[in-house]
């Protein structure tokens, strides 16, 4: 697990790491290795970025409605990219109702 920047008002728990591992194991069992995932309410990006550290071929789109998280998501993404190289991760500040995408998520 990598070190994650996070705001003082929010601390992620071990459940975020466990969820990433759980998803990774299920990808191994049959979901396309290059699947396109959507994370709603990404916080500081822990779940998506942990999953990408385990499955770098995935593509993940993350959205977060609280703008306070955006600098943390960005710094965590940059840290993982230094470790792995380019990753297929994008994030935006928006509500789910505002999401407009031509993509079908897996």
Give the pLDDT band of residue 89 (cuts 50, 70, 90). very high
97 to each of 42, 93, 94, 101, how far by Cα in Å? 15, 12, 8, 11
How do 88-93 and 59-64 pair as beta strands?
A: parallel
**What pLDDT score does 31 carry?**
65
**What pLDDT score does 36 carry?**
85
**What pLDDT score does 33 carry?**
64
**What pLDDT score does 15 carry?**
94
**What pLDDT score does 32 carry?**
67
Q: What is the pTM of this model?
A: 0.87
Instruction: Tell me the per-residue pLDDT of 16-63, one tens digit each, with 9 for 90 and over.
Output: 999 999 988 888 776 666 678 899 999 999 999 999 999 888 899 999
Can you give 23-35 as a three-state secondary structure string? HHHHHHCCCCCCC
Contact 42, 18 (CB under 8 A): no
Of residues 63 and 103, more confidently modeled:
63
């Amino acid at each position: 697990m990598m070190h994650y920047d996070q705001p003082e008002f929010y601390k992620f728990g071990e459940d975020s790491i466990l969820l990433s591992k759980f998803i990774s194991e299920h990808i191994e069992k049959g979901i396309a290795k290059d699947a396109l995932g959507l994370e709603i309410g990404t916080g500081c990006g822990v779940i998506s970025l942990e999953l990408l550290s385990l499955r770098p071929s995935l593509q993940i789109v993350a959205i977060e409605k609280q703008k306070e998280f955006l600098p943390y998501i960005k710094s965590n993404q940059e840290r993982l990219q230094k470790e792995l190289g380019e990753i297929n991760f994008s994030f935006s500040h928006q509500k789910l109702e505002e999401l407009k995408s031509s993509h079908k998520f897996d």
